Amino acid sequence: MIVSHKSRRPKRFFLCKSLRTLCSLCALCLIPLAHAQTKPATTPKKPTLAVLPFVPLTGDTVLADRMRFAVSQKLSSDLNAVAANGTYDRLDNVQVDQLISALQISFAKAPPDDDELQKLLATLDTQFTIAGTVKGRTLTLTLYTSAELSKTITTTIPPDNTSPKLTVEKALTDLTGTAFAHIRDTEVDHSDPTAEARFAAHPNLVPDPGFELAAKEGKKTAINWEVLLGPAHDPPLLLTANDAANLSQDRAVIIPIRSAGVPPLTAPPAGGGKAPANDYCLMMRMSKSVAEANGLACESTWIPVEQGKKYRFTALYHSTGPTARLFLKGFAEKPDQFSDPKNPDTMRREFYRAQILPRKKNAGWDLIEMDFTPSTLKPTDPKIQWLRVDLYIYLAPGDVFFDDITVKKLDA
């Protein structure tokens, strides 16, 4: 939001202020040129792009900012974006906002008028510019090629508890022609018999996938998993059925699977797979205050993976209320000045994240599946070597149960 404040300054400051604005504007106008000059001559030039602030026509600035961020990220950093001219060389949103401020143009309540917009487009001097408005849950995107209006599309923004990923991808495909390889109705592809055979034959890479080791480990804890709530990072404890029934809120523990409130699976779950033969499962109990704040998470230990190879993740879950949103996080080795060579955890940095679509309250055990390929965005980034499974719940209070966590390689 651009807010203009008038101050009572002596007239002698007016000239200085104008000069500062002019200098800022000149510097910002030179940013694309300077950036282009630093590229090697052998590197093909990418089409330049700017994403303007989205106008909150009904006052929801948070939603407007969120949708602008989603559009910006999809058109510059998504590894699965496949455009005829390659991915875009996008002008950073901060730089765009600084230029808009220097021109004293407001996007706070309404789009700028035609004269202001043409002045802005000429100053940006990008090949493509995207403008947007948000009215209720309706998102309207407009594409400009140089200074000419090319196309306008309108789409409905999904509810806040649903990822806008597929909606944004489809809208951008309609608007710009950019294709996204992962636009599909499901998150897993069962059409390749060879991949299915490999999934059946290959070993599960997740340590303690059925949460059984807590019953055998001396301290009765699941040492390959870690509960994350605020600054606390502790392995979940093993509890009896009676203790589980009286468990306090905002905890994650290992319990007998028959204490989950629904019968254990004795047949393959809907969607495929096989019935687990586990006696235990992970239980996460969450209060309303935590559900509406940062949520509760339980994360696996390090799982070795190979960059660029295809894998399949599966898990069984049952929720009495909270929404489950699972993440697959890829890490590479990149030490810095704070790293301790004796502590491998301090030497690793997250370079990849696959987000599984949210799962809501259900009546029994359901299967979650996703195919993914851990990869870095830049050729200069270190290769992904490890994966961590993040079981995250939020939004509503209640219990969520997880079992049979699986990561298997689908490539040869």
What's the pLDDT score for residue 272? 60
Residue 108 falls within a domain, yes or no?
A: yes
Residue 9 falls within a domain, yes or no?
A: no
Distance (Å, whole) CA 167 – CA 155: 8
Number of structural domains found in the chain? 2
Same domain for 248 and 280?
yes
Same domain for 67 and 199?
no
Of the three residues 139, 158, 180, the one that is the final residue of a domain is 180
Of the three residues 180, 206, 225, the one that is the final residue of a domain is 180
Residue 188 falls within a domain, yes or no?
A: no
Same domain for 251 and 394?
yes
Q: Which residues contact 223 (CB under 8 A, 6 or more apart)?
A: 208, 213, 217, 235, 301
Same domain for 173 and 234?
no
Contact criterion met (CB below 8 Å) for 280 and 392 = no
Same domain for 103 and 145?
yes
Same domain for 199 and 288?
yes
Same domain for 81 and 44?
yes
Same domain for 37 and 108?
yes
- Write out the DSSP string of 170-190: HHHHHHH--EETT-SSSS---
Residue 163 falls within a domain, yes or no?
A: yes
Instruction: Provide the CATH number for the domain around residue 45.
Output: 3.40.50
Same domain for 44 and 127?
yes
Long-range contacts for 14-21 (Cβ within 8 Å, ≥24 apart)?
21/102
Of the three residues 180, 213, 232, the one that is the final residue of a domain is 180
Residue 312 falls within a domain, yes or no?
A: yes
Buried b / exposed e along 18-55 (16+ C-beta atoms within 10 A) = eeeeeeebeebeebbeeeeeeeeeeeeebbbbbbbbbb
What's the pLDDT score for residue 266? 67
Distance (Å, whole) CA 321 – CA 401: 11
What's the pLDDT score for residue 151? 94
What's the pLDDT score for residue 28? 40
What's the pLDDT score for residue 271? 55
Structure tokens at 403: 């079992």
DSSP assignment letter at 359: B
Same domain for 319 and 258?
yes
Residue 53 falls within a domain, yes or no?
A: yes
Which H helix or E strand runs over 26? helix 14-29
Distance (Å, whole) CA 241 – CA 260: 9
Residue 2 falls within a domain, yes or no?
A: no
Same domain for 204 and 232?
yes
Structural domain boundaries, residue 373 = 193-409
Q: Is the entire prediction scored with pTM above 0.75?
A: no
The pLDDT tens digits for 21-34 are 444 444 444 433 33
What's the pLDDT score for residue 392? 96
Residue 70 falls within a domain, yes or no?
A: yes
Of the candidates 403, 372, 409, 368, the one whose C-alpha atom is nearest the C-alpha of residue 199 is 409
Instruction: Provide the CATH number for the domain around residue 248.
Output: 2.60.120.260
Question: pLDDT 10s per residue in the chain (412 long)?
Answer: 333 333 333 333 334 444 444 444 444 444 333 333 333 344 456 789 999 999 999 999 989 998 998 898 787 644 444 433 346 788 888 889 999 999 999 999 999 999 999 999 999 999 999 999 999 999 999 999 998 999 999 999 988 766 677 788 889 988 988 766 544 446 888 999 999 999 999 999 999 999 999 999 888 999 999 999 877 789 999 999 999 889 999 999 999 999 998 888 766 665 566 656 679 999 999 999 999 888 999 999 999 999 999 999 999 999 999 999 999 999 999 988 888 888 888 899 998 988 888 899 999 999 999 999 999 877 888 999 999 999 999 999 999 999 999 999 999 8
Same domain for 173 and 207?
no
What's the pLDDT score for residue 90? 85
Which H helix or E strand runs over 254? strand 251-256
